[in-house]
């Protein structure tokens, strides 16, 4: 009897060819596992295709809720944005997929798992580091990294074995999609000087085509988790879907970034992430109001660490657990509402409120009702400036100060 492999199956060209290839090359019976992380595909058609191509079994797993509750929302609470640009949609989905691959392999008695990543991206690292952490005894095969076929040769291989070519073959781009965003690579995008053609985008309108009237949306948060839009309570999956629509139609959510991959390459990446962009912006606005200055400063450092560890495939680590515990604790008063204005490709926070707000009108106002004791300021300045005066007297002022004196 042949050994079994669980393959992370997307229904695309590479993973379809992989079903045949794994049988040919390693005599493995393929169990295709397709994971729904909100990519809005026809999953029953994908399942049928896997079987038609030769999988002995084809599983579809709805992982949308898991993805939102255990990956997207914690990353939002952490304000995780890689290199200040990328909300990490693809990166966040990989450890979840790895976990589900491992679960399926154990359940089905397979000794091997496989994925469709090439050998020069981040995704191979994320999958394999995660699988190795969760089930070190499982073997991993990466057909597209091993077979050494060009795209043309892969198409020929598919034709030779009667594997139906996906219609998306006409698209010059490599695309990965889930609830948190759409990653677009390849084709003309590989020239970082070329403006992305309009056709690369499907979730966002061109700002020039966006409505001529602005829209306001109000997002309600409970301890850092978004729970309402315009006062209406929504589950996480629906809330993100709704926002992707509402925000994308205003041309908000496009990202164009030259990114540092873990494997050492700089690559030009285009993203569409309307809901992610708006939620991150709103969440940060609410934190600005409900966290103290030092908490905010420290949390920014944590955010960068957190983003890097997600990007670098280190989800299943103790460092992640430790940072996640900090992030959870930091969110206990991040409850309130943020109002945003969407218009022609821009999204601005125009209002925020919270019962736990640290903003005090009495302290801030220049008008009647001012409770700030201005008579205390000279003493404060005297002490605050003490080291500055001392140094200036002993060592002189900086060269800039000297120049200004002349």
| Chain contacts with ligand ARG (rule: CB under 6 A) | 90-91, 122-123, 174, 176, 183, 185, 259, 269
Residues designated catalytic: 14, 94, 123, 174
Find tokens 């939620």 and name the residue. Answer: 279
* Count of helices and strands (H, E) across the chain: 16, 14
Q: Which is nearer to ligand ARG, 171 or 357 (CB)?
A: 171
Residue 403 Cβ, how far from ligand ARG at the closest point, in Å? Answer: 46
Q: Which is nearer to ligand ARG, 16 or 183 (CB)?
A: 183
Q: Which two tokens stand for residue 400?
A: 């800039």
Kindly write down the DSSP assignment for every residue of 341-355, as one continuous string.
Answer: EEETTEEEEEEEE-T
Positive or negative: CA dihedral 290, 338, 306, 189? negative
Residue 122 Cβ, how far from ligand ARG at the closest point, in Å? Answer: 4
Residue 90 Cβ, how far from ligand ARG at the closest point, in Å? Answer: 4
Residue 26 Cβ, how far from ligand ARG at the closest point, in Å? Answer: 23
221 burial level (CB within 10 Å; 0-12, 13-18, 19+): buried
Q: Which is nearer to ligand ARG, 128 or 185 (CB)?
A: 185
What's the rounded Cα separation, in Å, for the pair 28 and 128?
A: 19
Q: Which is nearer to ligand ARG, 155 or 288 (CB)?
A: 155
What's the rounded Cα separation, in Å, for the pair 152 and 349?
A: 48
What's the rounded Cα separation, in Å, for the pair 243 and 90?
A: 18
Q: Which is nearer to ligand ARG, 183 or 354 (CB)?
A: 183
Residue 125 Cβ, how far from ligand ARG at the closest point, in Å? Answer: 9
**Which residues have a Cβ under 8 Å from the Cβ of 119 and sit 6 or more positions away?**
142, 144, 145
Instruction: Note whether 114 and 127 are within 8 A (CB).
Output: no
Q: Which is nearer to ligand ARG, 171 or 228 (CB)?
A: 171
271 backbone φψ class: left, alpha, beta (φ>0; ψ -120 to 50): beta
Residue 184 Cβ, how far from ligand ARG at the closest point, in Å? Answer: 8
Q: Which two tokens stand for residue 360?
A: 């005090």
């Amino acid at each position: 009897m042949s050994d079994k492999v669980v393959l992370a199956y997307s229904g695309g060209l590479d993973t379809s060819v992989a079903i045949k290839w794994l049988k040919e090359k390693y005599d493995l019976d393929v169990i295709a596992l397709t994971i729904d992380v909100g990519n809005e595909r026809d999953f029953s058609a994908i399942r049928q295709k896997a079987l038609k191509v030769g999988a002995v079994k084809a599983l579809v797993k709805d992982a949308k809720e898991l993805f939102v509750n255990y990956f997207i929302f914690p990353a939002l609470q952490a304000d995780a944005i890689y290199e200040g640009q990328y909300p990490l949609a693809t990166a966040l989905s990989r450890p979840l997929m790895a976990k589900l691959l491992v679960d399926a392999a154990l359940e089905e008695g397979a000794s091997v798992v496989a994925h469709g990543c090439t050998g020069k991206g981040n995704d191979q690292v994320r999958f394999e580091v995660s699988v190795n952490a969760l089930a070190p005894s499982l073997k991993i095969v990466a057909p597209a990294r091993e077979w050494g076929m060009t795209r043309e040769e892969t198409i020929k291989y598919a034709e030779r074995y009667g594997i139906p070519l996906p219609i998306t073959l006409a698209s010059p781009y490599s695309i990965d999609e889930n609830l948190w965003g759409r990653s677009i690579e390849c084709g003309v995008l590989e020239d970082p000087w070329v403006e992305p053609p309009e056709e690369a985008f499907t979730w966002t309108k061109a700002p020039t085509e966006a409505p001529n009237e602005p829209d306001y949306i109000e997002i309600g948060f409970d301890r850092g988790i978004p729970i309402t839009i315009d006062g209406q309570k929504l589950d996480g999956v629906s809330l993100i879907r709704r926002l992707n629509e509402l925000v994308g139609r205003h041309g908000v959510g496009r990202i164009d970034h030259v990114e540092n991959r873990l494997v050492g390459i700089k690559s030009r990446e285009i993203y569409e992430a309307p809901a992610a962009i708006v939620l991150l912006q709103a969440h940060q606005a609410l934190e600005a109001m409900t966290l103290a200055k030092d908490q905010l400063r420290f949390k920014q450092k944590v955010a960068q660490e957190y983003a890097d560890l997600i990007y670098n495939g280190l989800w299943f680590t103790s460092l992640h657990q430790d940072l996640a515990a900090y992030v959870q604790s930091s969110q206990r008063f991040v409850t309130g509402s943020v109002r945003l204005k969407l218009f022609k490709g821009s999204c601005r926070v125009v209002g925020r409120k919270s019962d736990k707000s640290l903003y005090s009108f009495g302290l801030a106002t220049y008008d009647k009702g001012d409770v700030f004791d201005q008579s205390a300021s000279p003493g404060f300045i005297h002490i605050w400036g003490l080291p500055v005066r001392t140094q200036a007297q002993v060592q002189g002022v900086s060269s800039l100060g000297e120049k200004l004196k002349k």
